[in-house]
């Protein structure tokens, strides 16, 4: 199961990972190998079997609609990599389409 | 070396001060650090402060709790308020959480003192503790070998007697496997038994906090303190947790207990040392009165691909937030724009194994591939769950090796991800289906390397594992979990 | 010749105390940045979401009001996209098992508009983009606030109809206390999908328009788009499938050609959130707790005798309807009279003074009392209008009338005395009445003046007519 260059480029973008050419090539090979290994699952008959998302299912878990104390502003800001005027400062974002 | 139970009693009774115990632990941590690199942060200041408070409260006649003054180590992917929690990643190298994980809170409320944050494979991804931004951890029994992972640091802390109890996390075997490689007990409870609030997520439907220690009574005490519903974790089990301490003294032997060896995992593919440890354990079980038989879990060997698909897919989602925007490390100037800075930040602050799994997981979830990969893996998961359920209709406990090998040399598998992944073949099943599992020390190979074996119990029956461990411990005696040389 | 095919995607901010998955306040309007956050809505490592029960209840309430089918089990999915104001870089939303599907809303003229689905999700924070700066500023106060998203079938056909639909949804949401639903306060946002085709033919290329901040913008944007697409097709060109924005100042849509390929959201069920069962029992509790829908109110008002116009006006305004219902309970006269006053003079005064009904001190009981005074003949209609501002300001009508001696003079003897006095004092005018009967109004006016407006006008006129032939 080979991962094409195009697929690899698309994946990097989708995963927001910038990689050097060498890293990309190495990973492309690794991923192709791993995918090949995963293909072993294809042979298994899972007809009529439902997906198991949560191994032990709790159900109907809720929180009552009560307001709780938020983090103090300074605490929240102390976590910031870059803060400005009480906001989190980030590189320029293009307006969402 | 005193057990946690003993320490707690001695400190509470005033026979020894918490500060002395904690100071000794801190010193021992420093001693091991140069050679073994088990710790990312050794918390001298906060630990001594806490110990002092405990001594004051005890002097004032307060009841501090059963873990009074007990030094513990917490894996660095579990949040501790005010203490750096990095998940062994550059991305969180400066992250100081404003809150503690629920499990840590509960232990501290019972008097325990966090003396250090343990090294790990970055974000829990790895089986050898070689994937850390803070350097690899070494196995104390042979420092040219891996201690196992991803909770390598926690296992080493216990194996070398720095602390009696360490917290790890187990997603595909990350507590049990290092337990086996370092000769200590490694326990993963039923999914939902321990709160995941404050545990930096790797794979949400697989992660569980686990305990590393050297005695059944310490395991039981820590579980009794930590277990119980947490309203902040919607996957945490409701209802009353089992009484773990009772399970330690409960039964006097294993008469009438049926133990099933999973055929598919107990034959070929295991090293000679592992097979020997398994046989020795079987002898002991028989001596204790247990009935042994073979059971079949036909899809067992497909557990690995199913496990890794689920784990990687969920990881790609859980790690999407480490993008350099709010609190994680940033690389690149503003003028490059948001998308590019995100890509640079993630590319440079996330390690190679993490990047590998994120890409793989992204692929498994992406349009057109969901059904063939993630969706398929979830179906195989259900198949395996049915088979394990059926096995438990015939037996009370399942037995397998913990890992097909003992500790291997550093660097041996680092460049061969698939070979590394295959090491999880025995342990990943319990995570996939959510049941409790434990690695119990079973002896040493000819090369003086420790080897463990794995027991699994039906979902919610965690205490059965504490019971069998206590019996084996008593049966084996002093040689059960000896201290590793410093 | 072309017909427009329009669908709407509407987001409503749910009216709960706390956010969707954590205990921070749901309402963060006007707060300083980043004062309303916690580890969960900041997406800190190790944080976990827990569902707000009230949010699900209100979503179910809304879903039922839109005649949707509610599933037996509903669950959350993760929807992945990267944006700094979504700190986890995924949004917890719903995919295959939303809280409602296959519903409908009926407009006037029996037009039935299909509702494809209704689901709950968490809101993102807010980004500020200072002009000419290489950076943006992020405020996460709103991150995690609960939202309902509803999507319609492409059943709408005109911009006016789309607007009518939005007005109706707003009324329902407000009546049900599900959302404040005011676009101005950012509680209701709508995106539109519009294409055109020749009747009977296949659907045309769909264009999405976003960033519409008011119902008017929606209507205008649709009108503009329909014209733009019509012009394109008529000139032999084709419509490009794309997302466009709306320029309010220039009143035109514009292309938002983003660098992204079609987004791959990589949905999967959120393992941190267990599924939620919606048993019939819960639905019954929801139905029982659901306030009356505007349509039902309007029916009820018609039965009380209100004209269609007034019934509709009051039924679709939560404040008015609540006020009206209380007033009607204590007022024994014609409901239509109450409506006249509410929609007439009261509304007029409030508008002139830029006052909202809820912020005035007008009580339903006092309004009823005022109208009763007129019905009894204690005061004239004109007096009532005069004192209305005082009543709106909280005054009790009976007290006002007493204190100011505004009571109408109804005693015929007293009125007759006044009439006689005026007749005696204005002989010239009395003469002119013989030629021009209308001049009697001058005398009427004089009597009213002498009585300081308190003589009952009808009685005065009657006496004047009697005495002067």
- Per-residue DSSP letters for B272-338? HHHHHHHHHHHHHHHHTTPEEEEE--TTGGGHHHHHHHHHHHHHHHHTTT-SSSSSS---S-GGG-H
Contacts of B271 (CB under 8 A, 6+ apart): B404, B405, B406
| Residue that is written with structure tokens 């359920």 in the block | B389
The minimum CA-CA distance between A7 and chain B, rounded to whole Å, is 9
**Residues of B carrying an active site annotation:** 75, 150, 174
Q: d(Cα C70, Cα C60) in Å, to the nearest integer?
A: 8
Query: According to the model, what pLDDT value does residue C270 have?
Result: 97
Least CB-CB distance to B321: which of C89, C271, C274? C89
Least CB-CB distance to A17: which of B190, B346, B372? B346
Q: Do C139 and A87 touch (CB under 8 A)?
A: yes
Whether residue C254 lies within 8 A of chain A, CB to CB, comes out as no
Chain C: residue whose CA lies nearest to A58: C274
The minimum CA-CA distance between A1 and chain B, rounded to whole Å, is 13
User: Residue B446: exposed, middle, or buried by beta-carbon count in 10 A (0-12, 13-18, 19+)?
Assistant: exposed
Q: d(Cα C300, Cα C310) in Å, to the nearest integer?
A: 12
**pLDDT exceeds cutoff 80 at C453:** no
Q: Do C51 and A88 touch (CB under 8 A)?
A: no
**Are the C-beta atoms of residues C192 and C214 closer than 8 Å to each other?**
no
Whether residue B96 lies within 8 A of chain C, CB to CB, comes out as no
Q: Do A81 and B327 touch (CB under 8 A)?
A: yes
Chains B & C: contacts with CB separation below 8 Å: 99
Chain C: residue whose CA lies nearest to B235: C272
Q: Strand, helix or coil at B212?
A: strand
**Are the C-beta atoms of residues C43 and B321 closer than 8 Å to each other?**
yes
Q: d(Cα C26, Cα C17) in Å, to the nearest integer?
A: 6
Chain A: residue whose CA lies nearest to C77: A53
Q: Strand, helix or coil at B176?
A: helix
Residue B427's nearest CA partner among B461, B464, B410, B452 is B452
- How does DSSP assign B118-147, residue by residue? EP-SGGG--SSS---TT----BTTBTTB--
Whether residue B369 lies within 8 A of chain C, CB to CB, comes out as no
Least CB-CB distance to B234: which of C46, C48, C140? C48
Q: Do C135 and A84 touch (CB under 8 A)?
A: yes
- Quote the Cα angle for C187-C190-C196, to 5°: 170
Q: d(Cα B71, Cα C296) in Å, to the nearest integer?
A: 67
Query: According to the model, what pLDDT value does residue A95 have?
Result: 59
Q: d(Cα C133, Cα B42) in Å, to the nearest integer?
A: 42
Q: d(Cα C276, Cα C190) in Å, to the nearest integer?
A: 28
Query: According to the model, what pLDDT value does residue C404 have?
Result: 83
Residue C300's region, left for phi above 0, alpha for psi from -120 to 50, else beta, is: alpha
Largest CA distance in chain B: 72
Q: Do B381 and A51 touch (CB under 8 A)?
A: yes
Residues in chain B closer than 8 A to C138 (CB atoms): 325-326
Q: d(Cα C216, Cα A74) in Å, to the nearest integer?
A: 41
Task: Looking at mean pLDDT, say which of C44-48, C209-213, C342-346 comes out highest.
Answer: C44-48
Measured torsion, CA atoms of residues B321, B322, B324, B325, in degrees rounded to the nearest 10 = 10
Cα first-last separation, chain B: 13
- pLDDT level of residue C401 (50, 70, 90 thresholds): confident
Q: Do A16 and B192 touch (CB under 8 A)?
A: no
Q: Do C272 and B92 touch (CB under 8 A)?
A: no
**Are the C-beta atoms of residues C87 and B321 closer than 8 Å to each other?**
yes
Residue C182 has which token pair? 């005011």
Residue B198's nearest CA partner among B122, B91, B85, B94 is B85
What does the H/E/C string look like for chain C? CCEEEEEEEEEEECCCCECCCCCCECCCCCCCCCCCCCHHHHCCCCCCCCEEHHHHHHHHHHHHHCCCECCCEECCEEEECCCCCCCCCEEEECCCCCCEEEEEEECHHHCEEEEEEEEEEECCCEEECCCCCCEEEEECCCCCCEEEEEEECCCECCHHHHHHHHHHHHHHHHHCCCCCCCHHHCCEEEEEEEEEECCCCCCCCCEEEEEECCHHHHHHHHHHHHHHHHHHHHCCCCCCCCEEEEECCCCEEEECCCCCCCCCCCCEECCCCCCEECCHHHHHHHHHHCCCCHHHHHHHHHHCCCCHHHHHHHHCCHHHHHHHHHHHHHCCCCHHHHHHHHHHHHHHHHHHCCCCHHHCCCCHHHHHHHHHHHHHCCCCHHHHHHHHHHHHCCCCHHHHHHHCCCCCECCHHHHHHHHHHHHHHCHHHHHHHHHCHHHHHHHHHHHHHHCCCCECHHHHHHHHHHHHC
pLDDT digits (tens, 9 = 90+) for C337-359: 999 999 999 999 999 998 888 88
Write the CA distances from C432 to B477, C429, C447, C460, integer angstroms. 132, 5, 17, 18
**Are the C-beta atoms of residues C226 and C159 closer than 8 Å to each other?**
yes
CA atoms within 13 A on the CB side of C121: 23
Contacts of C227 (CB under 8 A, 6+ apart): none
Q: Is A5-42 CATH 1.10.20?
A: yes
Residues in chain A closer than 8 A to C133 (CB atoms): 92
CA atoms within 13 A on the CB side of B326: 27
Whether residue B97 lies within 8 A of chain C, CB to CB, comes out as yes
**pLDDT exceeds cutoff 90 at C467:** no
Q: Do B78 and C46 touch (CB under 8 A)?
A: yes
- pLDDT level of residue C258 (50, 70, 90 thresholds): low
Query: According to the model, what pLDDT value does residue C462 have?
Result: 84
Q: Do B327 and C272 touch (CB under 8 A)?
A: no
What residue ranges do the domains of chain A occupy? 5-42
Q: Is the peptide bond before C459 cis (omega within 30 degrees of 0)?
A: no
Which of A57, A76, A84 is the mutation pick for testing C, counting most C CBs within 10 A? A76
Gyration radius (Cα) of chain A, Å = 22
Residue B364 has which token pair? 């498994």
Residues in chain B closer than 8 A to C271 (CB atoms): 204-205, 235, 314
Q: Which CATH class is domain B4-251+436-479?
A: alpha beta
Name the C residues in 410-429 with CB < 8 Å from any A CB. Answer: none
**Are the C-beta atoms of residues C41 and C143 closer than 8 Å to each other?**
yes
Strand C276-277 to strand C73-74: parallel, antiparallel, or no bridges (unpaired)? Answer: antiparallel
Which of C135, C272, C281 is the mutation pick for testing A, counting most A CBs within 10 A? C135
The minimum CA-CA distance between A39 and chain C, rounded to whole Å, is 20
Least CB-CB distance to C46: which of B201, B334, B362? B201
At residue C190, φ and ψ (nearest 5 deg) are -130, 135
The minimum CA-CA distance between B367 and chain C, rounded to whole Å, is 6
Chain C: residue whose CA lies nearest to B198: C46
Residue C150's nearest CA partner among C202, C110, C101 is C101
Residues in chain A closer than 8 A to B433 (CB atoms): 55
Least CB-CB distance to B320: which of C50, C80, C138? C80
**pLDDT exceeds cutoff 60 at C261:** no
pLDDT in tens, chain B (486 residues): 899 999 999 999 999 999 999 999 999 999 999 999 999 999 999 999 999 999 999 999 999 999 999 999 999 999 999 999 999 999 999 999 999 999 999 999 999 999 999 999 999 999 999 999 999 999 999 999 999 999 999 999 999 999 999 999 999 999 999 999 999 999 999 999 999 999 999 999 999 999 999 999 999 999 999 999 999 999 999 988 899 999 999 889 999 999 999 999 999 999 999 999 999 999 999 999 999 999 999 999 999 999 999 999 999 999 999 999 999 999 999 999 999 999 999 999 999 999 999 999 999 999 889 999 999 999 999 999 999 999 999 999 999 999 999 999 999 998 899 999 999 999 999 999 999 999 999 999 999 999 999 999 999 999 999 999 999 999 999 899 999 987
At residue B175, φ and ψ (nearest 5 deg) are -105, -45
Q: Strand, helix or coil at B443?
A: strand
Write the CA distances from B146 to A25, B143, B149, C96, C315, integer angstroms. 28, 7, 8, 45, 74
Q: Which chains touch C (3 or more CB pairs under 8 A)?
A: A, B
Chain A: residue whose CA lies nearest to C39: A71
**Are the C-beta atoms of residues B455 and B440 closer than 8 Å to each other?**
yes
The minimum CA-CA distance between B101 and chain C, rounded to whole Å, is 8
Query: According to the model, what pLDDT value does residue C257 have?
Result: 66
**For a pLDDT cut of 90, what percent of chain A falls above it?**
80
Q: Do A82 and B330 touch (CB under 8 A)?
A: yes
Residue C139's nearest CA partner among C46, C49, C28 is C28
Q: Do B79 and C90 touch (CB under 8 A)?
A: no
Helical (H) or strand (E) element with B267: none
Q: Do B346 and A18 touch (CB under 8 A)?
A: yes
Residues in chain A closer than 8 A to B350 (CB atoms): 17
Q: Which chains touch A (3 or more CB pairs under 8 A)?
A: B, C
Q: d(Cα C360, Cα C315) in Å, to the nearest integer?
A: 20
**pLDDT exceeds cutoff 70 at A97:** no
Residue B42 has which token pair? 């050794």
Chain A: residue whose CA lies nearest to C130: A92
Least CB-CB distance to B302: which of A40, A54, A80? A40
Write the CA distances from C256 to B94, C137, C207, integer angstroms. 38, 22, 11
Contacts of C121 (CB under 8 A, 6+ apart): C20, C79, C91, C92, C93, C94, C147, C149
**pLDDT exceeds cutoff 50 at C259:** no
Whether residue C241 lies within 8 A of chain A, CB to CB, comes out as no
The secondary structure of residue B477, as a DSSP letter, is: G
Q: Do C34 and A76 touch (CB under 8 A)?
A: yes
Q: Which chains touch B (3 or more CB pairs under 8 A)?
A: A, C
Residues in chain A closer than 8 A to C123 (CB atoms): none
Q: d(Cα B94, Cα B40) in Å, to the nearest integer?
A: 12
Residues in chain A closer than 8 A to C135 (CB atoms): 84, 89-92
Q: Strand, helix or coil at B85?
A: coil
Q: Do C42 and A16 touch (CB under 8 A)?
A: no
| Residue that is written with structure tokens 């496997």 in the block | B177
């Amino acid at each position: 199961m080979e991962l094409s260059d195009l697929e690899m480029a698309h994946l990097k973008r989708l995963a927001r990972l910038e990689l050097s050419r060498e890293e990309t090539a190495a990973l492309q090979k690794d991923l192709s190998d791993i995918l090949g290994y995963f293909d072993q699952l294809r042979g298994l008959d899972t007809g009529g079997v439902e997906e198991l998302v949560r191994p032990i299912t709790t159900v109907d878990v809720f929180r009552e609609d009560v307001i709780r104390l938020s983090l103090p502003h300074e605490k929240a800001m102390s976590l910031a990599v870059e803060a400005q005027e009480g906001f989190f400062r980030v590189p320029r974002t293009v307006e969402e389409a | 070396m005193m057990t946690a139970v003993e320490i707690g009693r001695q400190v509470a009774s005033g026979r020894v001060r918490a500060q002395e115990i904690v100071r000794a632990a801190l010193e021992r941590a420093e001693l091991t650090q140069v050679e073994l690199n088990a710790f990312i942060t050794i918390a001298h200041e906060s630990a001594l402060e806490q110990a002092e408070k405990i001594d004051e409260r005890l002097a004032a006649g307060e009841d501090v709790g059963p873990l009074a003054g007990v030094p513990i180590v917490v894996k660095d992917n579990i949040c501790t308020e005010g203490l750096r929690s990095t998940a062994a990643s550059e991305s969180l190298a400066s992250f100081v959480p404003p809150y503690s994980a629920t499990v840590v809170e509960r232990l501290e409320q019972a008097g325990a003192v966090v003396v250090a944050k343990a090294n790990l494979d970055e974000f829990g991804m790895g089986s050898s503790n070689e994937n850390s931004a803070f350097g690899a951890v070494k196995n104390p029994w042979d420092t040219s070998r891996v201690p196992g992972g991803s909770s390598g640091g926690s296992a080493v802390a216990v194996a070398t007697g720095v602390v009696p109890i360490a917290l790890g996390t187990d997603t595909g075997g990350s507590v049990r496997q290092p337990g086996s490689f370092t000769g200590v007990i490694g326990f993963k409870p039923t999914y939902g038994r321990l709160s995941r609030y404050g545990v930096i997520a790797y794979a949400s439907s697989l992660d569980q906090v686990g305990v590393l220690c050297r005695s059944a009574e310490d395991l039981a005490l820590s579980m009794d303190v930590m277990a119980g519903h947490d309203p902040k974790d919607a996957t945490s089990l409701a209802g009353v947790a089992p009484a773990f301490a009772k399970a330690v003294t409960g039964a006097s032997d294993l008469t009438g207990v049926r133990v099933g060896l999973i055929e598919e995992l107990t034959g070929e593919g295991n090293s000679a040392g592992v097979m020997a440890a398994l046989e020795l354990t079987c002898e002991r079980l028989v001596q204790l009165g247990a009935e042994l038989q073979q059971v079949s879990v036909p899809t067992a060997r497909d557990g690995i691909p199913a496990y890794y698909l689920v784990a990687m897919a969920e990881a790609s989602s859980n790690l999407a937030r480490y993008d350099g925007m709010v609190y994680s490390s940033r690389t690149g100037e503003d003028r490059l724009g948001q998308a590019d800075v995100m890509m640079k930040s993630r590319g440079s602050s996330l390690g190679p194994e993490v990047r590998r799994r994120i890409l793989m997981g992204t692929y498994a979830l992406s349009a057109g591939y969901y059904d063939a990969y993630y969706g398929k893996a979830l179906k195989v998961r259900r198949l395996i769950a049915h088979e394990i359920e059926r096995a438990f209709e015939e037996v009370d406990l399942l037995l397998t090796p913990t890992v097909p090998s003992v500790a291997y040399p550093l660097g041996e598998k680092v460049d061969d991800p698939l070979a590394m992944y295959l090491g999880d073949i025995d342990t990943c099943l319990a995570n996939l289906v959510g049941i409790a599992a434990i690695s119990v020390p079973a002896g040493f190979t000819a090369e003086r390397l420790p080897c463990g074996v794995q027991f699994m119990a039906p979902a919610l029956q965690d205490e059965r594992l504490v019971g069998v461990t206590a019996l084996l411990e008593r049966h084996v005696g002093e040689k059960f979990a000896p201290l590793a040389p410093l | 010749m072309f017909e427009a095919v329009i669908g709407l995607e509407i987001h409503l901010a749910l009216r709960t105390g706390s956010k969707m998955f954590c205990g921070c306040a749901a309402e963060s309007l006007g707060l300083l940045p980043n004062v309303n956050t916690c580890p969960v809505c900041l997406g800190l490592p190790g944080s976990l979401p827990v569902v707000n029960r009230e949010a699900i209840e209100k979503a179910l309430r809304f879903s039922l009001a839109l005649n949707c089918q509610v599933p037996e089990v509903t669950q959350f999915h993760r929807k992945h996209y990267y944006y700094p104001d979504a700190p986890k870089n995924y949004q917890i939303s719903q995919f295959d098992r939303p809280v409602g599907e296959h519903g409908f809303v009926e407009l006037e003229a029996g037009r039935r508009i299909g509702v494809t689905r209704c689901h709950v999700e968490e809101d993102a924070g807010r980004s500020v983009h200072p002009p000419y700066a290489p950076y943006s500023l992020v405020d996460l106060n709103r991150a995690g606030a609960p939202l309902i998203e509803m999507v319609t079938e492409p059943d709408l056909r005109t911009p006016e109809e789309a607007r009518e639909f939005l007005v109706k949804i707003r009324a329902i949401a407000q009546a049900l206390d599900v959302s404040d639903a005011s676009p101005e306060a950012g509680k209701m946002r709508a995106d539109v999908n519009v294409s055109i085709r020749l009747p009977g033919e296949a659907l045309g290329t769909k264009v999405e328009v976003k960033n519409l901040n008011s119902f008017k913008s929606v209507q205008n944007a649709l009108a503009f788009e329909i014209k733009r697409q019509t012009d394109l097709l008529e000139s032999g060109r084709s419509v490009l499938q794309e997302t466009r924005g709306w320029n309010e100042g220039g009143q035109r849509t514009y292309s938002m050609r983003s660098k992204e390929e079609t987004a791959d959201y990589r949905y999967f069920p959120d393992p941190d959130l267990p599924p939620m069962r919606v048993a019939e029992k819960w639905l019954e509790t929801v139905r029982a707790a659901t306030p009356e829908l505007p349509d039902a109110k309007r029916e009820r008002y018609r039965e009380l005798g209100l004209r269609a116009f007034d019934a509709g006006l009051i039924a679709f305004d939560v404040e008015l309807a609540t006020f009206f219902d209380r007033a009607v309970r204590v007022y024994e006269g014609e409901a239509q009279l109450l409506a006249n006053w509410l929609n007439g003079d009261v509304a007029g005064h409030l508008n002139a003074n830029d006052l909202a009904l809820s912020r005035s001190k007008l009580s339903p009981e006092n309004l009823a009392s005022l109208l009763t005074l007129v019905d009894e003949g204690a005061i004239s209609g004109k007096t009532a209008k005069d004192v209305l501002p005082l009543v709106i300001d909280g005054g009790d009508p009976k007290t006002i009338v007493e204190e100011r001696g505004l009571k109408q003079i109804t005693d015929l003897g007293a009125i007759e005395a006044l009439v006689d006095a005026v007749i005696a004092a204005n002989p010239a005018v009395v003469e002119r009445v013989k030629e021009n009967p209308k001049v009697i109004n001058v005398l009427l006016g004089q009597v009213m003046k002498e009585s300081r407006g308190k003589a009952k006008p009808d009685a005065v006129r009657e006496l004047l007519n009697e005495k002067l032939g």
